[in-house]
């Protein structure tokens, strides 16, 4: 498996290999977006400040998150962009090379667009690991305040360890993190299911009208909240960037069978918890 992952384009020739690559994709491709529930909803609630958040706003926020995942990840990346491969390869530079072959008259324009896309990708890749690890370790403060002063050094230690392991290649990382991340997503989904029953009104979030209504009524606050809502899809670009490592099939299967259901259930559970216990607005994921 390691050899197939480190030499693109990847091919899954039988069911056991397909399953192995799907689990590997869960660990490598979706490890980033899988940490978004740690902080995305909490940060989206923050702009409402001391006045608190109303029930309709909670439902609207969760609806906005669900439909952001649906439109940007499911439609844009999983169903559309994964088909724009360059001989099985994905990523900004592969897309640039593909476009330059198809429309050579606009080489300069597409080259500049490719450089801009690569720069944005690098910026996201620099910020997201630190944000994800720090948000995860911050949960220790809820266990005991004694950990408050140790959050930053623990986070730094984890980051150093992760990047040391990453240097061994995509295959080694996927073999180690695939099963762990699979368990993580199962726990995310189970935690959400356990709390959706706290207030079934949160199921109205499936209606996109609630997302649109929220943005329409929120005004400038809604514009600020969109920045936090975008955190729900941070790391989505890895779907396309890692296309050559895992192939389209395993990445799509991992999303529809595990990742998307787990994320949706968890966000619904967080919303239901805040509806039934408004005091949980301070940190709904860890209080859940």
pLDDT at 91: 75
Task: Answer yes or no: are the C-beta atoms of 174 and 28 closer than 8 Å.
Answer: yes
Residue 266 located in a structural domain: yes
Q: Which of 239, 245, 238, 237 is nearest to 89 (CA)?
A: 245
Residue 3 located in a structural domain: no
Using CA atoms, how far apart are residues 28 and 142, in angstroms rounded to an integer? 28
Number of domains in the chain: 1
**Bridge partners of 260?**
none
**Bridge partners of 89?**
86
* Distances from the Cα of 265 to the Cα of 66, 74, 185, 195, 284, angstroms: 10, 16, 10, 9, 14
183-207 burial by CB neighbour count: b if 16+ within 10 A, else e?
ebbeebbebbeebbebbeebebbee
Residue 128 located in a structural domain: yes
Q: Name residue, tokens 């990453």.
A: 166
Using CA atoms, how far apart are residues 245 and 3, in angstroms rounded to an integer? 10
* Distances from the Cα of 130 to the Cα of 44, 124, 192, 218, angstroms: 19, 10, 25, 30
Q: Which pLDDT band holds residue 10 (cuts at 50, 70, 90)?
A: low
> In this structure, what DSSP letter does residue 91 have?
S
Task: Answer yes or no: are the C-beta atoms of 251 and 266 closer than 8 Å.
Answer: no
- When computed from its CA atoms, the radius of gyration of the chain, rounded to whole angstroms, is 20
Q: Which pLDDT band holds residue 170 (cuts at 50, 70, 90)?
A: low
> For residue 163, is pLDDT > 60?
yes
Residue 212 located in a structural domain: yes
pLDDT at 3: 44
Using CA atoms, how far apart are residues 268 and 161, in angstroms rounded to an integer? 33
> For residue 125, is pLDDT > 80?
no
pLDDT at 188: 97
Residue 283 located in a structural domain: no
User: pTM here?
Assistant: 0.85
Residue 42 located in a structural domain: yes
pLDDT at 172: 72
* Distances from the Cα of 158 to the Cα of 152, 153, 161, 194, angstroms: 10, 9, 5, 30
Q: Which of 1, 170, 36 is nearest to 91 (CA)?
A: 170
Residue 53 located in a structural domain: yes
Residue 1 located in a structural domain: no
Using CA atoms, how far apart are residues 254 and 83, in angstroms rounded to an integer? 16
| Residues whose CB is less than 8 angstroms from the CB of residue 212 and which lie 6 or more positions away in sequence, other chains included | none
pLDDT tens digits, residue range 59-90?
Answer: 999 999 999 999 999 999 899 988 877 777 77
Residue 159's domain comprises 13-278
User: What is the percent of the chain where pLDDT is above 90?
Assistant: 39
């Amino acid at each position: 498996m390691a050899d197939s992952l480190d030499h693109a384009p990847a091919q899954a020739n039988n069911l056991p290999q397909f399953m192995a690559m799907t689990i590997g994709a869960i660990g490598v491709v979706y490890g980033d977006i899988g940490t978004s529930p740690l902080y995305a909803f909490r940060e989206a609630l923050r702009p409402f400040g001391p006045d608190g958040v109303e029930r309709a706003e909670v439902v609207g926020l969760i609806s906005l998150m669900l439909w952001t995942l649906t439109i940007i990840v499911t439609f844009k990346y999983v169903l559309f962009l994964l088909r724009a491969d360059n001989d099985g390869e994905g990523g900004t530079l592969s897309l640039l090379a593909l476009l330059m072959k198809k429309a050579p008259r606009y080489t300069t324009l597409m080259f500049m667009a490719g450089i801009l896309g690569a720069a944005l990708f690098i910026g996201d890749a620099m910020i997201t690991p630190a944000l994800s690890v720090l948000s995860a370790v911050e949960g220790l403060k809820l266990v005991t305040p004694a950990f408050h002063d140790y959050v930053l050094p623990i986070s730094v230690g984890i980051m150093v360890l992760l990047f040391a392991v990453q240097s061994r290649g995509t295959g080694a990382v996927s073999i180690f993190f695939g099963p762990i991340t699979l368990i993580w997503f199962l726990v995310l989904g189970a935690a959400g299911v356990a709390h959706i029953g706290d207030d079934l009104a949160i199921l109205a979030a499936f209606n996109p009208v609630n997302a649109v209504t929220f943005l329409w009524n929120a005004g400038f606050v809604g514009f600020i909240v969109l920045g936090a809502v975008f955190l729900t899809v941070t790391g989505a670009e890895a779907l396309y960037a890692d296309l050559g490592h895992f192939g389209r099939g395993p990445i799509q299967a991992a999303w529809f069978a595990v990742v998307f259901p787990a994320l949706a259930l968890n966000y619904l559970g967080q919303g239901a918890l805040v509806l039934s216990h408004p005091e949980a607005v301070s940190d709904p994921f860890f209080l859940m």
